[in-house]
Structure 1
Amino acid sequence: MSSSSPTTAVDSVIELDARGIRIEGGPQLVLCASLFYFRLPREQWRARLAQVRASGYTCVDVYLPWNFHETAPGRWSFEGRRDVAAFLDLAREEGLYVIARPGPYICSEWDGGALPAWLGSDPELRVRQNEPRFLDRVTAWFDQVLPLLAERQYPTGGTVIMVQLENELDFFDCEDRTGYLTALRDQAVRHGITVPLIACSGQGDLEGATGDVPGVVPACNFYPDDDSPHIEPEVRRYAELLAERDLPLLITETNRRHRTLRRLLASGASLIAPYLQSSGWNFGYTPSAGNWGRPGNLMSHGYDFGGYVSSTGTERPEYAEAQILARVIDTLGPRLALATPTVQPTPVTTDFPTSSSPSALRLDGGGLLLAVPHLGTRTETETEAEAGTGTETGTGTETESGAGPGTGTAVVNGMPVAVAADSCPLMLLDVPLRPWGHEGTLTLASADLVAAGEGVLVFSSEVPVTVVVGDTRVEIPAPAAGAPGRATAEGLTLVALAPADAVRLRATDRNGTVRLDEPKPARPASEPVAVRRARRRTDATAPERAAGRHELPPTLESLGVYRGRGTYRTTTDLTGVDELLLVGAADIVDLSVAGRVRPTIAGFGATRRIDVREATGSAYVEAVVEIWGHANFDDARLPALRLGALRGLGTVWTVRETTDVSALWSVHGHWAGRPAPLRELGGWSSTRVGLPVTYTREIRTATAAALHLKGVVEPVRVTVADGGPHAADTAHEPHTAPVLTVHAEDPWIPLPAGTHRISVTLPHHPSGDGLRAELLGLDPVTDWTCSAQDDDLLTGFATEAAPGQEVPLPLSLAPGEEAWLDVDLPPSHDGLLLRPDGTQIRVTGWADGECVGRVWVGDRPDFSGGDANVLWIPPGWSGLTLLVRGAAGPEAPELRVLRLESAD
């Protein structure tokens, strides 16, 4: 990266340099929480923003998802829950800075990473590339959203202090990073963005994320193992690399635990933005089909990774940790904001597991801040084996001071101090006290300094506190809630508060008298309610929009369905067919053959063989295909996990014949000579373990076919070239055939009719690879009639009043049968969580005119995110309508009961 790259945008009052962040000249260490307007009811925006501010965080980062605002090509919406301008204005009113992240790609486990689904319908458009067709569409998006951000930049019209371009581009195979980021930068500048433009690296490739584009500041995303002892040296390396360019370390995403955040702070971060501290909800058809499973999964509607605020707004214990860390930052102020990272000059020894290289900050004006993480646990039965070995020993047992189970001892500057398990106190060493009206020096403080004034220092700790002022050392016993500890030294009053009191600290005087805010009243717990009756809509079937006849099954996007579902029906009689091959089906496919519904397919586009020999009568095929969401990441292992991949039934083939083609492969590589030896696939013997060897064979197909590599474990490389005389003996010569990578998750290669030279390259294993190859001759299933039900159509039907008949639960359904139910809800101050209980059903819910989500009960793929088994009905959202669909599986479909829980 060029060291001459400008550190800020032109004329910005936000300055970035190696000393940190300055906002109108004032140094700032910024704590930032993710908070997404598109994952919250509009009526909760202000309360959630105020909640972040009350945590002590001073900033929110906000994605702006392109496909949330362009709901169909050229159809824009910035109203209601899409009124991002109103959200940004509320952030200003609540006193929060904003880091705006308009993409165009955002990831965020959101449908398509926010790239509109229809982009994939243009075969010449390549997403996230410096490519005219894509950039034309990006321009249309930026023309809509960047003026909103420009009007709300700090300080002229709002509190936007940075704008992020793209997102973790270093994960993506972008061919021209410099050209692509330059195009995005130029658009931002053209629209009047003057605050710093940043681009975050997801795996530490600063140039890969920014394209080394002048005016684009690199930022870092870190997601370490919270218990790793090696976090600090990694983070310090990036702080040093950026300091060489006169830039601060901006951590735009990281883990949520404040023990880890303290380690990042001490390692030199000027911006710390743990991702998803304030959780939310994926309403409607907006979750993604993502890459965090084996290899894929579906994101739940509850978007929650354990941040300090839950999806429904409940504050978790980590919220208090945020408040204490924020008090430390406020107390040290500019001295901490202008600090520079270093390594503790004298060794720190511990009897507990800790950092392999603790970080310290050299405070502006003198002194050090030292982070000492205790990576052990808090269990009372903790043993050396459970706690692991620390820097010197690893007892992690109760100390003689009675500090509590799991408390360890660290020796800092030759003095033993107590450190609680699972904590990271920010200790102060040799800090001048003059800014707080005292001429002495704080030689050592073993606990968090949460307040300071003339003649008084206040600490937060759950273990004994060691304080040395000048040469005077005092020990303050571990404070209990409501019982502060006090001591004096060198004319100073020292107060130790339990963390529960520290978060409520309002003021203190020089005598050590503290005033605390009243604790928040606890809401009485409510018991779950079992709903055992509902109104089933009489003969209700959601309308379908006719979508024409097609030779082959079209994608849902080509039918205008970007979120929702579609139905495919064929009149081709498959009587006498033994097997079907389904290629590229995604996301959720309920396939019926001859009227028999088969188990739901959710294979992310992987090829599936389907035995249909049991079909009786006229074997027609019908399929209902639902979009769960488009891929938010680019995962090459399965077709539907590629960024920009489309949804639908894919292609259905009848299997005409199956032939074993495992033999007669010619061997190229290692010491194989010419003419090439013939072996079975994977059967060459060699001492060159792990080195690639290539097997080649000519395959003739009279019609379309599929080559199945059975037994693939590790990825193998396959080329398919036109065959001809002596093709096998020339396979080792260079050719331009495209190279495919075949994975265990989808070990199939499609072949058109003709003669092909197939080359399979795999690492050699002396015992053989257990590979077999079979060739399936295929005929396409044609003549499809389609109908569509997009999310607007389904939502409109769900929210219409309809006659119904009260039915008791449990409700039994046949596989493929659907029931529309209207459910009465009790009033709730905090909203309700609905947990359907049953077997082999999928439940979609609507309330207050909006889809609140989907729950899948029974056999299902992996889910990640929040609780995948509940729907949230926000407070004030009226009415509840459910679409319940039975699915084939080991048990009969049945909705037994609906369990309602308070969302507090």
Structure 2
Amino acid sequence: MTEITATAVTLGPSGLVLDGGEQVRLCASLFYFRIPRESWASRLEAVRASGYDLVDVYVPWNFHEIAPGRWDFEGRRDVAAFLDLAHAAGLRVIARPGPYICSEWDGGALPAWLTLEEGLRLRQAEPRYLAHVEAWFDQVLPLIAAREHGRGGAVVAVQLENELDFFDCADRAGYVGRLRDLALRHGISVPLVACAGQGDLNGATGDVDDVVPAFNFYPDDRSAFIEPEVRRYADLVADSGLPLLVTETNRLHATLRRLVVSGAKVVAPYLQASGFDFGYTPSVGNWGDPGGFMSHDYDFGGYLDPVGGARPEHAEARVLSAVLRTLGPALAMATTAPADDAYTADVATSASPSRLLLDGGGELIGVPNLTDDAGTATLLAWPGGPEVAVPLPAASCLLVLRDLPLDRFGLPGTLRLASADLVGAGPDGLELSAAGASAIVLAAPDGEPVLVELGAPAPGAPVQARVEAGAPGVAWDVVVRHPRDVAAPSGGAADPVGASGPAGADAGPVAAEHPPVTALTRLDLATRSGFTTRHDLPPSSEELGVHRGRTHYAAGLAGVDELLVERASDIVDIALDGAALPTIARFGATFLLPVAGAGRLDATVETWGHANFDDVRLPALQLGSLRGLGRVWSVVGRSDVSALWHVSAAGGWPGEPAPLRSLAGWSSTRAGESTTYSRGLPVDGMHHHALRLGGVAGSVQMTVDGAARTVTEDDPWLHLAPGEGHDVAITVPHLPGGSLVAELLRLEPVLGWDVEPQPDEAILDLARADAAGATVPLPLELETGEERWFDAAVPPGGLSLRFEGAQVRVSAFAGGELLGRVWLDDPARPRFTGGDAGRLWLPAAWNAGSIRFLVRGTVGEESPVLSSVRLAATQE
């Protein structure tokens, strides 16, 4: 692949070159859609103060197309204004408009209604899907193109798609090629990149011309094998004359140092600038067992917490970015190599350390400590010289310089060794940074090396030395600063607000506790309209225009004893004759529900979010899966079909005619080999049926009348439409003593549903409505299934809200927005991931002195109670 050039932007072996400036670059993820507009400028300034000069910015399609054909680029959706602010802050942008972004965002940003269109296949070179993508790109790409670097804007690269190598795309070249063509048609002239999530370059790019491969690399921070893996990636792209772009990775700067010294030219840790998912925007993903709800608090421990406070890693960012600026083009043009003989250490370190051979002379060696204990690294001061022992802090990576010519800085001689970080150099001397003691070796031209061991600096108390070379007129002034004292590139405050505590500590988003809320106002306000329409079958939420929000269903149950419910998701609250049942949140897994004697079923189904990955283990974890009550069936018959299965396997054992055994009951010495069991099921050709397999471990491959199907242990049900099931084959690895149980249910649909859609906009209208009320104290006790509106008075300013109680779900509203939802102490609650699921944030700009709560009591071991609402000021 040839070098790709755009106006003022070049992508070549030295990395992303802007206006001719060659430098290894650090990039922070910063997402405008997770931050109030009023905080955009301060958040951008906080990133710039870290020394990072790039930000990557997802642009989520469904944040801007909020309903089919209804576009919104105003207010906090004004991405153009955000890009302009990034430029004003001195930052450059890698824009990531998808169409799929993942980002633990609702549906990975793919609009929820897409799969309602028959035959449309997501993330494929398929005409109907591509037509929708084209409409999205027609909206967003002109905004990006107008803000390219070289046209007076911030954008220096555009990413197409996201981690396509995780997804089963049938025609990668056709799909990525079409995205490229749309980008070029809209005038995108900066480099186009596509990132591989698991190292499959072709899988991510389709090997399409003019689309540069990049890597998302999430290692174990303590892995000894990071360096050789990264060097391999660098070698792969170097064969095409391209740099190694790591477009996502871990956040610890000890790990980022290992990537830099192994050849990465752009390093973009995800997520350095945390944020918050306001509204109904978190996703449902596969980080749980196997599924999880993403929290509204979107935080993986980056150097800025969700409300913008700096954590200790912010200082580490300033140090590393200063090293990259100081070494500049010499580092950008460096080549990487193993450094297996460069040092010894008394703690666990890399299995194959890396060194960078700097352009113009010298080398940079990475010396990681993979333990939580301080250690010592031993190096030769110079070839033939004495050994030098230097401290190796816990969970760190020293960047050791060797044999660096100093004439490029206007200084004499050579820096033969520095175990501290070189964060500045010029005619006035050398500036280094270290948290502990360090060693440097300097040598005059043709002179003997001089070893100087320096003590540990303290914050505000640098260590200074004047090193005499032993040659007339040759000396160097050296200062070693604590990392906390390394200045931001603008010369601003070295320590932003919040950067305190031990390295790696979570400074948290709060500054001072307020008195807790002691009383609420219970409002005389309905929680829904009550206007319903009749449907034969329960429609999906998306069919009703509920892309975010919830849907209410009701049906009569005369003569029904047991229901089978398929694909109900995300949060399903069912009542029988008004008596609430425990909440169901099982990611669309099929379940049986005894209803004998009940005359009516009511269900409220709330969308937490749409799947942002594609996980076949559960229906609601599949990309493009719909939300709502799913299909509801009356069970009208059962058959045990565990016996009379024909057995076959490769190699003629068992032989013909095929023996009959129970399912998975064949006995063989060939453990682990695939064995197939087949039979016809007693289906009648008129009814729907459901086959349940008990005892599935992992997944089972099946064919039904010649069509491939999969059943998993998390959802061991297979739906059979009328006419299906006459020829069923199940293939499982043979396990001596293994067995499966199979049961066939005959089904009839439950007909006659009264349905009320309640999209997010309808809920927000209620949250804004005026209503009278009466004061009630906390703790607040509710009946199971009871749902009410409450107001709470709060002090001014930005606030962190924390809720305590049990068997309660709370949605909090302010500033015309849903701040978020919490679910307190309920056995039915799924695993939450991505941040602190018990915390919500009220931004200062949205605080008008009160918050509105929608509170629902759920069924469980305890009575529903909201015990307290704790408040703390946030530093924004």
d(CA) in 1 for partners of 2:649, 2:395 = 54
Q: TM-score, normalised by structure 1?
A: 0.91
Q: Does the residue aligned with 2:368 lie in a helix, a strand or coil?
A: coil
Q: Displacement of 1:675 after TM fit?
A: 1.3
Q: Paired residue for 2:397?
A: 424
User: Is the 2:567–2:630 contact (alpha carbons within 8 Å) kept by the matching residues of 1?
Assistant: yes
In the alignment, structure 1 residue 477 sits paired with structure 2 residue 446: no
Q: Does the residue aligned with 1:424 lie in a helix, a strand or coil?
A: strand
d(CA) in 1 for partners of 2:353, 2:300 = 27
Q: Displacement of 1:594 after TM fit?
A: 2.4
Q: Which moved more, 1:677-686 or 1:416-425?
A: 416-425
Q: Paired residue for 1:835?
A: 802
d(CA) in 2 for partners of 1:505, 1:772 = 66
Within 5 Å, give how 1:486-885 maps onto structure 2. 486-489=464-467, 490=469, 491-503=475-487, 525-544=511-530, 546=532, 548-574=533-559, 577=561, 579-613=562-596, 616=597, 618-670=598-650, 671-702=653-684, 703-721=687-705, 737-754=706-723, 756-768=726-738, 770-828=739-797, 831-859=798-826, 860-877=829-846, 878=848, 879-885=850-856
d(CA) in 2 for partners of 1:528, 1:821 = 20
Q: Paired residue for 1:901?
A: 872
d(CA) in 1 for partners of 2:486, 2:89 = 23
Percent identity at matched positions? 54
Q: Select which of 353, 364, 375 maps to 1:407.
A: 375
User: Is the 1:572–1:783 contact (alpha carbons within 8 Å) kept by the matching residues of 2?
Assistant: no
Q: Paired residue for 2:504?
A: none
User: Is the 2:346–2:375 contact (alpha carbons within 8 Å) kept by the matching residues of 1?
Assistant: no
Aligned-partner residue type, residue 591 of structure 1? I
User: Is the 1:437–1:453 contact (alpha carbons within 8 Å) kept by the matching residues of 2?
Assistant: yes
Q: Displacement of 1:525 after TM fit?
A: 4.6
Q: Displacement of 1:477 after TM fit?
A: 1.5
Q: Displacement of 1:889 after TM fit?
A: 1.3
User: Is the 1:308–1:318 contact (alpha carbons within 8 Å) kept by the matching residues of 2?
Assistant: yes
Q: Does the residue aligned with 1:365 lie in a helix, a strand or coil?
A: coil
d(CA) in 2 for partners of 1:12, 1:357 = 39
1:544–1:95 Cα change, 3 Å: farther
1:207–1:113 Cα change, 3 Å: same
Q: Does the residue aligned with 1:474 lie in a helix, a strand or coil?
A: strand
Q: Displacement of 1:545 after TM fit?
A: 5.1
d(CA) in 2 for partners of 1:719, 1:343 = 50
d(CA) in 1 for partners of 2:388, 2:870 = 56
Q: Paired residue for 1:69?
A: 64
In the alignment, structure 1 residue 8 sits paired with structure 2 residue 4: yes
Deviation track 1:543-564 (CA, whole Å, cap 9, x = no partner) reads: 2553x22111110000010000
Aligned-partner residue type, residue 497 of structure 1? R
Aligned-partner residue type, residue 801 of structure 2? L
Q: Which runs of 5+ in 2 are unaligned?
A: 444-448, 470-474, 501-509
Deviation track 1:362-397 (CA, whole Å, cap 9, x = no partner) reads: 11110001111111214xxxxxxxxxxxxxxxxxxx
d(CA) in 2 for partners of 1:803, 1:316 = 43
User: Is the 1:181–1:210 contact (alpha carbons within 8 Å) kept by the matching residues of 2?
Assistant: yes
Q: Displacement of 1:516 after TM fit?
A: 8.7
Q: Does the residue aligned with 1:493 lie in a helix, a strand or coil?
A: strand
Q: Does the residue aligned with 1:527 lie in a helix, a strand or coil?
A: strand
Q: Does the residue aligned with 2:603 lie in a helix, a strand or coil?
A: strand
1:341–1:110 Cα change, 3 Å: same
d(CA) in 1 for partners of 2:515, 2:195 = 45
Q: Displacement of 1:501 after TM fit?
A: 2.5
Deviation track 1:668-714 (CA, whole Å, cap 9, x = no partner) reads: 11401111101111111111111100011111123221111101013
Aligned-partner residue type, residue 419 of structure 1? L
1:115–1:505 Cα change, 3 Å: closer
Q: Does the residue aligned with 2:821 lie in a helix, a strand or coil?
A: strand
d(CA) in 2 for partners of 1:714, 1:153 = 48
Q: TM-score, normalised by structure 2?
A: 0.94
Q: Paired residue for 2:234?
A: 239
Q: Displacement of 1:428 after TM fit?
A: 0.4
d(CA) in 1 for partners of 2:732, 2:433 = 59
Q: What is the RMSD computed on CA atoms of the aligned residues?
A: 1.8
Deviation track 1:19-54 (CA, whole Å, cap 9, x = no partner) reads: 322212221221110000001100000000000000
Q: Displacement of 1:902 after TM fit?
A: 2.2
d(CA) in 1 for partners of 2:428, 2:839 = 53
Q: Displacement of 1:173 after TM fit?
A: 0.3
d(CA) in 1 for partners of 2:279, 2:496 = 37
Q: Does the residue aligned with 1:235 lie in a helix, a strand or coil?
A: helix
1:501–1:157 Cα change, 3 Å: closer
Q: Displacement of 1:504 after TM fit?
A: 7.2
1:667–1:624 Cα change, 3 Å: same
Q: Does the residue aligned with 2:256 lie in a helix, a strand or coil?
A: helix
Within 5 Å, give how 1:295-314 maps onto structure 2. 295-314=290-309
d(CA) in 2 for partners of 1:141, 1:415 = 60
1:282–1:763 Cα change, 3 Å: same
Q: Paired residue for 1:888?
A: 859
In the alignment, structure 1 residue 457 sits paired with structure 2 residue 430: yes
Q: Paired residue for 1:729?
A: none
User: Is the 1:564–1:790 contact (alpha carbons within 8 Å) kept by the matching residues of 2?
Assistant: yes
Q: Does the residue aligned with 1:335 lie in a helix, a strand or coil?
A: helix
d(CA) in 2 for partners of 1:896, 1:519 = 36
User: Is the 1:630–1:645 contact (alpha carbons within 8 Å) kept by the matching residues of 2?
Assistant: yes
1:377–1:719 Cα change, 3 Å: same
Aligned-partner residue type, residue 246 of structure 1? G
Q: Displacement of 1:345 after TM fit?
A: 7.2
User: Is the 1:19–1:340 contact (alpha carbons within 8 Å) kept by the matching residues of 2?
Assistant: no
User: Is the 1:12–1:196 contact (alpha carbons within 8 Å) kept by the matching residues of 2?
Assistant: no
Q: Select which of 289, 295, 302 maps to 1:294.
A: 289
d(CA) in 2 for partners of 1:345, 1:884 = 60
d(CA) in 1 for partners of 2:636, 2:576 = 17
Within 5 Å, give how 1:331-480 maps onto structure 2. 331-344=326-339, 346-378=341-373, 406-412=374-380, 414-470=387-443, 471-480=449-458
User: Is the 2:527–2:766 contact (alpha carbons within 8 Å) kept by the matching residues of 1?
Assistant: no
User: Is the 2:377–2:391 contact (alpha carbons within 8 Å) kept by the matching residues of 1?
Assistant: yes
User: Is the 1:574–1:620 contact (alpha carbons within 8 Å) kept by the matching residues of 2?
Assistant: no
In the alignment, structure 1 residue 20 sits paired with structure 2 residue 15: yes
Q: Does the residue aligned with 1:91 lie in a helix, a strand or coil?
A: helix
Deviation track 1:74-123 (CA, whole Å, cap 9, x = no partner) reads: 00000000000000000010000000000000000000000000001112
Q: Does the residue aligned with 2:680 lie in a helix, a strand or coil?
A: strand
